[in-house]
Chain A
Amino acid sequence: MAQQKIQQEHKEHETQEEHSTHSHLFYIAIGVVLLILTITTAAVAFINLGALNPVVALLIATFKAGLVVLFFMHVKGASEKLTGAVVVSGFFFLGLLLTLSLADYLTRSWK
């Protein structure tokens, strides 16, 4: 009974592992999307969107970074939940660093 269950779990793990990698074509397609987004960022920078210019640039950059992290670095489909937690914590502390620092510098109205 126990053996069967473990064997079954083992098989599930194996299929999960297969899911974490994709075909050549998929990776090349992601690469093409990233290249198109690079051209888009450069092109959008020349259009006057006012205060939205840096926002759009950063949104595109974050989308690109997301594609790389999820598909090239195989965070999507990773079997180890702890790895996901470490990745998220990294970006969480980066966010903390940036938001708290800016919350200070942007509110120094007395200077």
Chain B
Amino acid sequence: MIVVENLNYSVASAQILTDVSVTLPKGGITALIGPNGAGKSSLFSHIARLLPMQSGRITVDGMDVAPANRQALARKLAILPQQVHFATRLTVKELVQFGRYPHCQGRLGAEDHEMVEASLAAFGLTALADRFLDTLSGGQRHKAHVAMTYAQDTGYLLLDEPLNNLDIAASRALMTLLRWLADEEGKTIVIVLHDINFAAHYADHLVVLKDGRIEREGSPVDMVTGALLADVFGTDAQVALVGATPFVMP
């Protein structure tokens, strides 16, 4: 369970987050959605400790997200930032091995090697293990990054807009993978998403942000309605139901 209490964040007199308090449930996929500039990424960055906290408190399973708990948090919570560009040339295996760093500080033991092999196998990357990352397609590279966080062996996985620059096949493959992690491996996934349809189809819980505040939260069926699109996103879009899943007509 990730608990955010009274989080405020401002940059040079612009208030980005205003008194945000929200509880993200343990288990399943929770998606943060909202229009551009709503503060989704800022909220994400605070939970991921990428931004120093100005006021408020965030705990992960009761552990404070503070510099003092850096190492312990790295074994509890893994993050996948938006755009990762490495200056060095890395192979898939080297990248996945870095995921073990919080556990072994770079000295890989037998257990760590096992975990690396298991991650490579789980994501179908064994054949690509010795390929350099810059020779892979966008989808494969994403998979390698998720494999790294899998090797990190954390209960929580946070992803910031992972579907950017991915085509429909790669996007669906990645979301299916996350669904599998949540359902079969019991991980808690928190994901910032732009595409409401992806959020409605794959997530269990939606948190809607607008103007730096939590606007509403709940299950996709309750959340994704014409009223939400009009109130929060300011656009008149039709919402259809495909099976039990709401679908926003573009």
Q: Do A and B come from one complex?
A: no
